[in-house]
Structure 1
Amino acid sequence: MNLRDTSKLLYQLKLANQKMTTLFEQDTGFSITRYELMLFLRESGPCSQTVLQTQLQIDSAAVTRHLKILEEEQYVTRERNQDNQREVFVKVTEKAKSALAHCEAEHERAQANPFPLSETEERTLLALLTKLVK
């Protein structure tokens, strides 16, 4: 693949990302990062901001910004570790669990698929993108 083809591929990925994240935010009311944060917390339970940063592969400042917004909306709570005051534990609230369940139910009810791809194509794309990120 020459440089021009690589450039085209990367640009198409950028455009696809913009379009799909906009559709996701319109459907759920959450940014994809905040949604993933809440899902991770729901699935794993309370954890430190450092764990969130590592799991979601975003910098600490971004984690803090997202958590501040989620905390203001009462989707998460943050508490300092009593044994180590520098460490902050984050926990998803019942309001967040309810909002996530609502999003999932709406998605199931509408059988909404924002991707113009088959399930097999979606799995293949996910595998390829995961490979690129690693």
Structure 2
Amino acid sequence: MRDNCVIQLQIFYQLQKLNNNVNSKFESCLGSSPTRIEILHQLYNADEISQSTLQKEINIDNAAVTRHLKQLEAAGLVSRRKKAEDNRVTLVSLTNSGRQEIAASLQAKKSFIEQTLSGFSASEQEILLDMLSRLSKNVSTVEI
């Protein structure tokens, strides 16, 4: 039987490797960065949202959200306008092209997830979800 410390290090290494691989493949599958996809999904669920609220929802700094929105606006996926009652507030919404992009990304995301979990039974998926939830909880309580 292998040393428990060696097994734990291998688990940790495999988790890091899996995370990097999933992020890379998922980004390639969707053709966009995870942050941009998250911005588009937030906008998909709201008719219109203030840029500052969006920035808080996706938890990135103001300059980064502005940069992403400018690029998405240049691509015709989002539109921005100043709020009539308060010119300091910028409102953001998806364009029709943006809505179509999200619909396509949802299908690509579904296909990616199905392929990733291929070969896992429903009960194995439940067990995996439980284990990952416990790992996530443990990580959140690690004292640094």
Give me the TM-score of the superposition, normalised by structure 2: 0.69
Separation of aligned partners in 2, 1:41 and 1:122: 28
Structure 1 unaligned spans of 5+: none
1:35-77, Cα deviation, whole Å (9 max, x unpaired): 1111111112210111111111111111111111111111100
* Alpha-carbon separation, structure 1, partners of 2:60 and 2:125: 28
Mapped contact 1:23–1:114 kept (Cα < 8 A): no
Match of 1:68 in 2: 70
- Do structure 1's residue 85 and structure 2's residue 110 form an aligned pair? no
Which has the higher Rg, Structure 1 or Structure 2? 2
Alpha-carbon distance, 1:133 to partner: 6.3
Q: Partner residue of 2:23?
A: 21
User: SS where residue 91 of structure 1 aligns?
Assistant: strand
Q: How many residues end up aligned between the 2 structures?
A: 128
Q: Percent identity?
A: 28
Residue 21 of structure 2 aligns to a residue in which SS?
helix
Q: What aligned pairs does 1:100-111 form with structure 2 within 5 A after superposition?
A: 100-108=102-110
Whole-Å Cα distance in 1 between the matches of residues 94 and 137 of structure 2?
26
Measured after TM superposition, the shift of residue 94 of structure 1 is 1.2
| Corresponding residue SS for 1:30 | coil
Aligned to 2:45: 43
- AA partner of residue 125 (structure 1): L
| 1-structure distance, mates of 2:136, 2:45 | 23
